[in-house]
Amino acid sequence: MSRTIIISNRLPTKVQRAADGLHFQPSEGGLATGLGSIYRADGNVWVGWPGLFVEDPAEQAQVTARLADDSMAPVFLTEAEIRDYYEGFSNGTLWPTFHYFSEFATYVPAHWEAYRAVNEKFCQAVLALAGPEDTIWVHDYQLLLLPELLRRARPNATIGFFLHIPFPSYELVRVLPWGPELLRGMLGADLIGFHTFGYMHHFLSAVAHLLGLPTQNGQVETPERTILVDAFPMGIDYERYAQAAVSEAAQGYERTYREVLGEARVILSIDRLDYTKGIAQRLHALEGLLVAHPEWVGQVSLLMVVVPSRDQVAQYAALKEEIDELVGRINAQYRTITWNPINYFYRSFPFEELVAFYHLADVALVTPVRDGMNLVAKEFIASKGDRPGVLILSDRAGAAQELSDALLINPTHTDQLVGALHQALTMPADEQCQRLRHLQELVRQYDVFAWTKLFMDRLAYSKIKQQTLATD
Ligand code: G6P
């Protein structure tokens, strides 16, 4: 029987250590939901890192057994691997480079060696589970070398690869000392997917320039194989958000928040802590709004959730300080006894509370300076139901390619952001609803289940096509 194996750096269950032992918390992330029906089906499995350092063999066995009950297989990483492969090469080299922050990228040979070694470790973990004809779907930038490693060991396997972050212009890839190796790693797949056609074209151009391989009609030709390359914009579980927003629990939270926030209009900002998200620019824009349009003083509040992330990487710690300082300064300058311009939370929130934020917000301010897709924009749209609301969206998020009824802005253009905020806050309710209904139709139709099916169908097709070519 042919099986499907999903691989990502992080498993869709978070394992945490507490005083009373290990805690297992299923992730509610989009990928976990979208692929749930696949990896939980008979015999299939999701391979990845459980998100914490587990050294003791007895504890490792406990984690393995517990995860196996939910169709997962852990890859344990040592502290040195987490430092050099995860914080080092993945998040200190690839993440900044692929998001056009080359100035943050480090090129440390020991990090590259760890990256290769951990991709090899993932390969061994997959090979222990996969048969020769299995379908394997590898996810994201932490595992760019894995498709090729698997291909060498399982020449007939069906291998898909999806990149969840932007693929940058080839000019940035050529700056990387290991660019050609990374591209060759990806080309081990039969199908390579990106969120947008722009990323796909950048990839094809990098392959042509750096590897000298022919690329035509969304295909790469190597001497041995043809690799399909395509765009698959990822969606969310629309109904889950739409239903949760009108649930008892979410409405209860919403009533409480409303009481505290009073009459003020609410601008919502939700992100992982990351310099790619444009969080500081957003704070400058809020301040700009209060200066340019003083009528909003006391009338509008920014509800800003920043979810802690990668705090061992230097730039993340520095960004946290910058945000703390900015929020403190703006609040100290503008607040009154009964009103705060910024309600800032540095933590994550349970699903129902997040949905209550979305449902309550008048404006969602989604302004990353670079973002592969950005699902927060889609979650806001799905959660609004028949309420009015305005999405302000960066034109440098992958989502902007689809969500043209949002107010699209250049996130580094503060005046444009200020103008969009004022426009959103003064937009007639029927225009808000009209734009939202268009956006909702789109996000509902191209949900995460449609995304998964499209990718898997195309992957199966890529294999059939190759087999036909081989027998011609
Ligand atoms: C982005 C990446 C994912 C990653 C997530 C959280 O969405 O594309 O691969 O899992 O950020 O980052 P973390 O480093 O905590 O896994």
Contacts of residue 265, Cβ cutoff 8 Å, sequence gap at least 6: 296, 299, 300, 301, 362, 363, 425
pLDDT tens column, 250-309: 999 999 999 989 999 999 999 999 999 999 999 999 999 999 999 999 999 999 999 999
pLDDT at 472 over 70: no
pLDDT at 463 over 90: no
The pair of three-digit structure tokens given for residue 355, joined into one six-digit string: 């949905």
The pair of three-digit structure tokens given for residue 402, joined into one six-digit string: 């689809």
- The percent helix, strand, coil of the chain (3-state, each to 5) is 50, 20, 30
Residue 271 Cα to ligand 1 middle (Å): 12
Residue 386 Cα to ligand 1 middle (Å): 32
Q: How many C-beta atoms lie closer than 10 Å to residue 263's C-beta? A: 8
pLDDT at 100 over 90: yes
d(CA 265, CA 273): 24
- Ligand 1 atom closest to the CA of 140, numbered from 1: 9
SS3 (DSSP) at 157:
coil
Complex-level ipTM: 0.99
Residue 144 Cα to ligand 1 middle (Å): 14
pLDDT (mean) for 195-199:
98
Residue 371 Cα to ligand 1 middle (Å): 12
The pair of three-digit structure tokens given for residue 210, joined into one six-digit string: 């750096």
pLDDT at 466 over 80: no
* Of 13-22, 205-214, 244-253, minimum mean pLDDT range: 13-22
Length of the chain in terms of residues written: 472
Contacts of residue 135, Cβ cutoff 8 Å, sequence gap at least 6: 2, 3, 4, 5, 157, 158, 159, 160, 456, 459, 460
- Ligand 1 atom closest to the CA of 309, numbered from 1: 15
pLDDT tens column, 332-391: 999 999 999 999 999 999 999 999 999 999 999 999 999 999 999 999 999 999 999 999
Mean pLDDT of the chain: 95
Contact 71, 46 (CB under 8 A): yes
HSE-up (13 A, CA, CB side) for residue 264:
24
Pocket lining for ligand 1, CB < 6 angstroms: 9-10, 140, 164-165, 309-310
- Ligand 1 atom closest to the CA of 8, numbered from 1: 9
Angle at 463 between CA 462 and CA 465, to 5 degrees: 65
Contacts of residue 118, Cβ cutoff 8 Å, sequence gap at least 6: 77, 81, 85
pLDDT band at residue 197 under the 50/70/90 scheme: very high
Residue 392 Cα to ligand 1 middle (Å): 23
- 407-409 and 135-139 as β-strands: parallel, antiparallel, unpaired? unpaired
Entry pTM: 0.97
Contact 219, 204 (CB under 8 A): no
The pair of three-digit structure tokens given for residue 98, joined into one six-digit string: 């692929």
Contact 48, 7 (CB under 8 A): yes
Question: Which ranges of 50-108 does DSSP label H, i.e. alpha helix?
Answer: 57-68, 79-81, 95-98
pLDDT (mean) for 190-215:
98
Using the structure block, give the residue that is written with the tokens 């301010």.
365
